[in-house]
């Protein structure tokens, strides 16, 4: 099964966009593109997305 989703919002004058693509796979593979200022949040995002 494949799927696609996109959401965008502004929080305190900061624009956020999330794009999710799902391909036929049994495993989670995250490709994050973050501004350098948010690179310290990458592990938190990965852990949050990986929760059951």
Query: From CA 12, how far away is CA 4, in angstroms rounded?
Result: 27
What six digits make up the tokens of 4?
Answer: 């696609």
At residue 40, the pLDDT reads: 95
pLDDT tens digits, 1-52: 788 899 999 999 988 899 888 888 778 888 888 889 989 999 999 999 888 6
At residue 35, the pLDDT reads: 87
- What are residue 36's phi and psi, to 5 degrees? -55, -35
Whether the CB-CB separation of 23 and 41 falls below 8 Å is answered with: no
At residue 31, the pLDDT reads: 85
Whether the CB-CB separation of 24 and 6 falls below 8 Å is answered with: no
């Amino acid at each position: 099964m494949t799927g696609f989703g996109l959401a965008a919002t502004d929080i305190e004058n900061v624009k956020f966009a999330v794009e999710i693509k799902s391909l036929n796979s049994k495993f989670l593979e995250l490709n994050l593109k973050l501004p350098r200022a948010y690179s310290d949040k990458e592990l938190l995002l990965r852990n949050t997305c990986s929760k059951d």
